[in-house]
Structure 1
Amino acid sequence: MSKRKILLIEDDTDIARFLRSDLEEAGYEVDHSADAMSGLVAVREHTPDLVILDLGLPDFDGTEVLGRIRRTSTLPIIVCTARDTPDEKVKILEGGADDYVVKPFDSRELLARVGVQLRQHGGAPIEINGIELNVQQRLVRYQGQEVRLSPTEFNLLSLLARQPGRVYSREEIEREVWDGRLPANSNVVDVHMANLRGKFRDVEGYGIIRTVRGIGYALRS
């Protein structure tokens, strides 16, 4: 089996050296970029399986890198940041990051998070509260029973399953699932969520999706 490829975008040479060593010891193939522009080139040319992204890059901010990658790719991105205020964390996640770690961090924590993201975006099914979601096969089961979803319903569930328990706002959902192209004051998100709930109720999957009034939706963790 070929090694999974990790792209590390980090300008601190000491941090990059230690992380590269730990990742390679864990069995990954690692490519390193020390600035934003070379990192974007590496994403395009080397097709990594996952990106570990520092925000404090010398040429421009890592949030810009995050946004540019997200315009063309859904590959998993873990942000490494010293910014630990709630507003900054929300901004990182809403900007398209799949996960983040706050510096300083234990490399074991980062390796665990890398493993989770690769499982979720790879061939192994995601398993949450009786739900088995296979992204590659676009197949969903609940307690062993297949749940037949439309393409849009599957995309909605996949989005919520990225971070179970996290509340996704309607704006985030519109941006991720519909590319932000819904008309103003549209109830399309709510209608699709209701349909998704109904299909889980049909297989006795009650309370799978949580509504946070006035904010959005979350998958119960």
Structure 2
Amino acid sequence: MNKTILVIEDNPDIMAVVTYALNDAGLNVLSAPTGASGLTQARDRHPDLVLLDLGLPDLDGSEVARRIKRSMVMPVIVLTALDDVSRKVNLLEIGADDYLTKPFDPDELLARINVQFRRYGKQDRVQTIGPLRIDAAARRVTWQGRQVRLSPREYQLLNLLAADPGRVFPRAQLEQQLGGAAQAGGGVMDVHLANLRAKLRAAGAVRALRTVRGVGYALHVTSGDPLGRAGVFSGG
């Protein structure tokens, strides 16, 4: 199958069982024992699917799922020891694609993974927002058919904004999601934003990356003001 699964699980015994089952099915496995390391691997390695334990030592699994679904295009299956209906409903509301209650049968896990692979096929991983097209499988961005060549950080930044077009993302949130850019200092973040804006403009997306004074940044590729407030955008 040549697909990669990221398993975010702090229990070594469960990790070993899951890894064996996935490897036996021909799947590659990335492992992360904490929420923070899992988010880093999801961002940097772009797995095809995430198996996420709720009971992590550093971050609540629900928050990890929320961050993944907010900024990345990949299915998330939650592994939970709690057979609580309200908790399961909450997981689905924050974006988890499925859940499996522990203990579980490895064959059922593989069946659920295959369901998500079918849902998130190559066609499903192409996001179209007006004239903007983001092909997650090929990591290719085009504007009206014209390719926009982005660095990995610029591509990541665009994906963060494209997760909710029209929404204003605070600068601090973008810095947190970009990780390394924030650690390197605010000037690096400015460079990524400026480069992304320049490349979009060069492709014809003159006002796609918008600045909301004192608030943050938004991807605006449709007609009209997505916030319903005239004149708040600048610098785009």
Normalized against structure 1, the TM-score is what? Answer: 0.56
In 2, Cα distance between the equivalents of 1:51 and 1:105? Answer: 16
1:122–1:84 distance in 2 versus 1, CA, 3 Å: same
In 2, Cα distance between the equivalents of 1:116 and 1:20? Answer: 19
2:124 to 114, 129, 135: 135
Kindly report the root-mean-square deviation, in angstroms, between the aligned alpha carbons of the 2 structures: 2.4
What is aligned with 1:92?
Answer: 91
* SS class of match (1:100): strand
Deviations 1:94-121 (A, max 9, x none): 0110000011111111110001101110
Whether the 8 Å CA contact 2:5–2:49 is kept in 1: the answer is yes
Whether the 8 Å CA contact 2:50–2:76 is kept in 1: the answer is yes
* SS class of match (2:30): strand
In 1, Cα distance between the equivalents of 2:79 and 2:8? Answer: 10
Deviating beyond 3 angstroms after TM superposition, the runs of 4 or more aligned structure 1 residues are 177-181
What is aligned with 2:58?
Answer: 59
Q: Which has the larger radius of gyration?
A: 2
In 2, Cα distance between the equivalents of 1:12 and 1:50? Answer: 19
In 2, Cα distance between the equivalents of 1:178 and 1:60? Answer: 24
What is aligned with 1:77?
Answer: 76
In 1, Cα distance between the equivalents of 2:47 and 2:100? Answer: 20
What is aligned with 1:113?
Answer: 112
In 2, Cα distance between the equivalents of 1:48 and 1:28? Answer: 11
In 1, Cα distance between the equivalents of 2:126 and 2:60? Answer: 36
Whether the 8 Å CA contact 2:4–2:27 is kept in 1: the answer is yes
2:28 is the counterpart of 1:29: yes
In 2, Cα distance between the equivalents of 1:106 and 1:49? Answer: 21
Give the counterpart letter for 2:38 in structure 1: G
What is aligned with 1:43?
Answer: 42
Deviations 1:178-199 (A, max 9, x none): 6796xxxxxxxxxxxxxxxxxx
Please, which runs of 5 or more residues in structure 1 have no aligned partner? 124-133, 139-149, 153-176, 182-221
* SS class of match (2:7): strand
* SS class of match (2:86): helix
1:137–1:59 distance in 2 versus 1, CA, 3 Å: closer
In 1, Cα distance between the equivalents of 2:116 and 2:110? Answer: 10
Give the counterpart letter for 1:18 in structure 2: V
Structure 1 segment 67-216 matched on structure 2, within 5 A: 67-123=66-122, 135=124
What is aligned with 1:188?
Answer: none
What is aligned with 2:14?
Answer: 15
* SS class of match (2:31): strand
What is aligned with 2:182?
Answer: none
Deviations 1:1-33 (A, max 9, x none): x71010000000000001001000001000000
What is aligned with 1:192?
Answer: none
What is aligned with 1:191?
Answer: none
In 2, Cα distance between the equivalents of 1:83 and 1:180? Answer: 36
In 2, Cα distance between the equivalents of 1:108 and 1:26? Answer: 10
* SS class of match (1:119): helix
Whether the 8 Å CA contact 2:43–2:72 is kept in 1: the answer is no
